[in-house]
Structure 1
């Protein structure tokens, strides 16, 4: 991956260390492994971020930060990748997760008559949480693995291209 391109948009780690919600991590946030950018840490961070993006909790960024610190992958990339599931993309992603889970559990999933309101969500939550969570796990795991392989492959491709240009 073009390291200079990523570093251009990379936040200053000193500024990030001053963010109050990250002070929960204490001295762990000062570990240089979570700030280092190489192929392994980048691909691992993409993988962590994509998996956590499918966790249906509001604190995805904090979970991604904790996972990045625990797994020694790049913290800013992991937190940024979580934004794959943002308020605009969340409904289609979570509906796809429900459909995948329902098909794996062999439950008929029909979108007919759904009004996508908060009351509908509360009414159907009791019956649909199992296929929804299964679909979130399956899609999160699948996209995490695909993201890891693609990130490593694309990074390697850029390195080879750069190396061949010097020859």
Structure 2
């Protein structure tokens, strides 16, 4: 997967010479934010998911700027923001609303919001403010949990991949150098 992404990623030098990126080219110049290593990929994925859930518009631009600040991979961060796209937006926001309503009911916040809304004249703004609080709480929970899980998953998958490669590589070496059980130790 890593090789596939590296092969298809745009060239850093070409992107930095783009006239559209000229105002922020100095922030995008460090090589550490373009490297594909365990730490930068984990940071980029976690940051991209967090920004993707929290912000409805301008996600990629902010994810790239934040990624440059925390030395995360900017390509992974910008790609991860696409978790919320026109196809996934409605189910994610509906699930966030339901989750936020449930959590606010647990702490009593939804009842207080409904009481305030009932005391004021009803209208679209009143109902919108009650649902937006629930949706924001749900999105905050989704963003936080997905970021933490993605960060841990990248580190775990990287570690498992290394162990698997070490065992596969070392399996042939160990078979040659290990003595069998029936051999006698050399005499001195």
Pairwise TM-score range, normalised by the shorter structure? 0.7 to 0.9
The reply on whether 1:162 has 2:165 as its aligned counterpart is: yes
User: What pairs with 1:42-81 in structure 2 (closer than 5 Å)?
Assistant: 42-81=41-80
Structure 2 runs not aligned, ≥5 long: 112-123, 171-188
The alignment partner of 1:105 has SS state of helix
Provide the C-alpha distance between the structure 1 equivalents of 2:143 and 2:23, rounded to a whole number of angstroms: 26
Q: Which residue of 1 aligns with 2:83?
A: 84
TM-score normalised to structure 2 length: 0.74
1:27/1:160 CA distance change after superposition, 3 Å: same
Structure 1 runs not aligned, ≥5 long: 109-120
* Deviation of 1:85 (Å): 0.9
Provide the C-alpha distance between the structure 2 equivalents of 1:137 and 1:20, rounded to a whole number of angstroms: 35
Task: List 4+ stretches of structure 1 deviating above 6 A.
Answer: none
The reply on whether 1:135 has 2:134 as its aligned counterpart is: no
Higher relative contact order (CA 8 A, sep 6+): 1
| Between 137-146 and 2-11, the greater mean CA deviation after superposition | 2-11
Q: How many residues align?
A: 154
TM-score normalised to structure 1 length: 0.83
1:102/1:18 CA distance change after superposition, 3 Å: farther
The answer (yes or no) to whether the contact 2:53–2:83 under 8 Å persists in 1 is: no
- Larger Rg, first or second structure (1 or 2): 2
